[in-house]
Chains A and B, each alone.
Chain A
Amino acid sequence: MMLPKIAWRNIWRSRIRSFVVIGAVFLGVWAFICMMAITFSVSLGYVDDAIRFQTSHLQLHHPDFGDDKASEFMLDQDIYNQIKGNKNIIGITERTIVTGMVRSSRGARGIIIKGVDPQTETTVSEISESLLEGKFFTEEKKNEVIISKEIAEKLKLGLRKRLVLQFQDMNKEIVSASFRVAGIFKTGNNITDLSMLLVNRKDINRLLGAENAVHEIAILLDDPTADLLATQDKLKKEFPNTLIENYREISPEVQLYESQIYISVSILMFIFMLALIFGIINTMLMAVLERSRELGMLMAIGMNKLRVFGMIVLETIMLGTIGAPLGMAAGWLTVKFLNKRGLDFSEYSEGTEAFGIKSFLRPELDSEIYFILMVAVFVTALLASIYPALRAIKLRPIEAIRKI
């Protein structure tokens, strides 16, 4: 058919004007991809960190354990053994959770004391890999504690220094015990780092007066996208008297971050499309008005309005979408490069980490976003074509060409 040929050639009649639109689409798509990749890496990084250091994918608690973290609300000891063989679970651990005080010679602060099993904890949490100094517990030593760099700085503590943990035991009596710093970690999220410290579960259980106390079972799944809700439901049925929460329920800010990603993508895409739509309409209106004589002639010699409409729509879509694949290719390459090299915000780490945002990012973007973007550009061009095309078919041949 001749229409696509005419539409394509028409684009190149005013090269500079067309290149301005193509360039705008190219830059817009490129910038959008880069911005989205950074936004995603910030947001998903936050979610990912929360899972790796805090929440895991699923957690089991006594229904009354709640925010008070009262020691008497413990889990049934059999639950762990019943769950651990589940094939879509790649990590599982038991914890004893106690709220208390950490005290050094230089200060004191409230803290969540996590009693962990050093062997199984590493299958669920990556704190052991975030150690800046020391070791993640030693087999033979008692009363070791792993603290964050932030706590170490606040309480002026260092490796092998002593601190005192104070909390209530099972009989509601205040217990104090001296612990030695075995390791110092840093997760990159100040909020996490300042909220907790880790001790060996055997030590804390002994001090609590409950050798087999379990307050929390944390689970890491192989494929959370597919299995999270199904596994949660399955466990809820198996253990109806246990509170089983996924990471979004445990940490609502994680859910907020996840949903915020998609809201920000939508808003940015809307702004981008709006800017694009006006640019394209402007260019195509100019083209239609400049060619009114020619369009009138086409209608005079027998090109019906539907064909004229189609030609302008086709031309607009071609003009609007030429830049998109080029912008996508450039965006893809830029994201690849940034992913390989990394984006270092360590100069501003104090600020970023206070909000739980990493200071070193490796931007990346799902292929799905590229597809959505291409569809968005196409739809934008299609919408932008309607007004100029309507203007074109409203031309009357007699007026457009003045006279035959």
Chain B
Amino acid sequence: MSIISANNIKKTYDPDKIAVHALRGIDLEIKQGEFTAIVGPSGSGKTTLLNIIGGLDRPTEGIIKIADTDISTLSDNELIDFRKDNIGFVFQAYNLIPVLTAKENVEFVMVLQKRSKEERDQRTKELLEAVGLSDKTNKTPSELSGGQQQRVAVARALASKPRFILADEPTANLDSESTAGLLDMMAELNQEEGVTFVFSTHDQRVIDRARRIVTLVDGKIESDETR
């Protein structure tokens, strides 16, 4: 069953002035448990596509459904709530909350979901163990390396038990060792726990690990290859 269903997605910026067609009719289905990389040259529309899939931007045309919910019909506030419960985000620049510790960062979305203290504590502990940071729970982001921060970001993205995780060039700021560690961890989560990952990336190391590669060129899908 598809958890992401994009049907003829078009996105045009500044349609009243000089129109820039970022997406020119994308049809894409992503199923539960996939480990998909969206690749393509700069300006090909991969970031725009991820923004639309993540409910951060709205298509100019087309329908985007996340598990049968047409998110293009949701209001801003409904979208925020929808993202909270359904989508996990991993940002290129980590984007952790700098004043909170690793544990508090992971716990944060669960606080927004009004989960009980016991549940939050239990899940935070499990997730930090899963990303290999159980000894760094009380460190703030500034006390962690880039790779460690990104691991916390993955743990945070998983905390809300989302349907899938969107990751924008998650390895762009990481060295080789951290990249390899992060990819191992995400692949393990995908294989063992069935977590669905959708990446946008330029990084060949990520592309090599992906099991499905969607290539965008000039706002259109040029190829869609499953390994």
Contact = CB atoms under 8 A, between A and B. Distances in A.
Interface of A: 1-2, 5-6, 9-10, 13, 293-294, 297-305, 307, 397-398, 401, 403-404
Contact of A300 (B47, B85, B89): B89
List of 7 A-B pairs having minimum Cβ-Cβ separation, nearest first? A302-B84, A9-B99, A297-B95, A404-B168, A398-B56, A403-B47, A304-B80
B143 interface: no
B190 to A, nearest CB: 19
Contacts of A294: 95, 97-98
A17 to B, nearest CB: 15
Contacts of A299: 80
B150 interface: no
A126 B83 CA distance: 78
B116 interface: no
Contacts of B156: 301
Interface string B87-107: 001011101011110001001
Nearest to A400: B56
A404 B80 contact: no
Nearest to A2: B111
B57 interface: yes
Contacts of B97: 6, 294, 298
Nearest to A297: B95
B81 A404 contact: no
Contacts of B215: none
A303 B111 CA distance: 10
A155 B156 CA distance: 92
A404 B89 contact: yes
A2 B97 CA distance: 12
A300 B56 CA distance: 7
A299 B54 CA distance: 12
Contacts of A397: 56
Nearest to A393: B76
Contacts of A302: 80-81, 83-85, 109, 112-113, 160
18 contacts: A1-B111, A2-B104, A5-B104, A9-B100, A10-B99, A13-B98, A294-B95, A299-B80, A301-B109, A302-B109, A302-B112, A303-B80, A303-B112, A304-B81, A305-B80, A397-B56, A398-B51, A404-B91
Nearest to A12: B99
**Most A Cβ at <10 Å: residue of B91, B92, B113:** B91
A301 B83 contact: yes
Interface string B63-77: 000000000000011
Nearest to A304: B80
For the residues of A in contact with B, the DSSP-based class is helix
B166 interface: yes
B154 to A, nearest CB: 13
Contacts of B54: 300, 404
**Most B Cβ at <10 Å: residue of A2, A297, A302:** A302
B98 A297 contact: no
A60 to B, nearest CB: 71
B50 interface: yes
A1 B108 CA distance: 10
Given A293-B93, A293-B95, 13 more contacts: A2-B104, A13-B98, A13-B99, A299-B80, A300-B83, A300-B89, A301-B89, A302-B80, A302-B81, A302-B160, A303-B112, A404-B56, A404-B166
**Most B Cβ at <10 Å: residue of A9, A301, A304:** A301
**Most B Cβ at <10 Å: residue of A10, A13, A299:** A299
Interface string B170-212: 0000000000000000000000000000000000000000000
Contacts of B99: 6, 9-10, 13
A297 B54 CA distance: 12
B160 A305 contact: no
Contacts of B108: 2, 301
Contacts of B104: 2, 5
Given A13-B98, A294-B95, A300-B83, A404 B51 contact: yes
A294 B57 CA distance: 17
Interface in B104-128: 104, 107-109, 111-113
A302 B104 CA distance: 15
A79 B66 CA distance: 94
B77 A401 contact: no
Contacts of B100: 2, 5-6, 9
Given A6-B99, A301-B109, A404 B83 contact: no
Contact of A403 (B81, B109, B111, B168): B168
A304 to B, nearest CB: 5
A403 B95 CA distance: 12
Contacts of A6: 97, 99-100
Nearest to B160: A302
A401 B95 contact: yes
A175 B92 CA distance: 105
Contacts of A293: 93, 95
Given A10-B99, A13-B99, A398 B77 contact: no
Contacts of A1: 111
A404 B166 CA distance: 8
Contacts of B57: 398
B121 to A, nearest CB: 13
A8 to B, nearest CB: 9
A160 to B, nearest CB: 82
Contacts of B111: 1-2
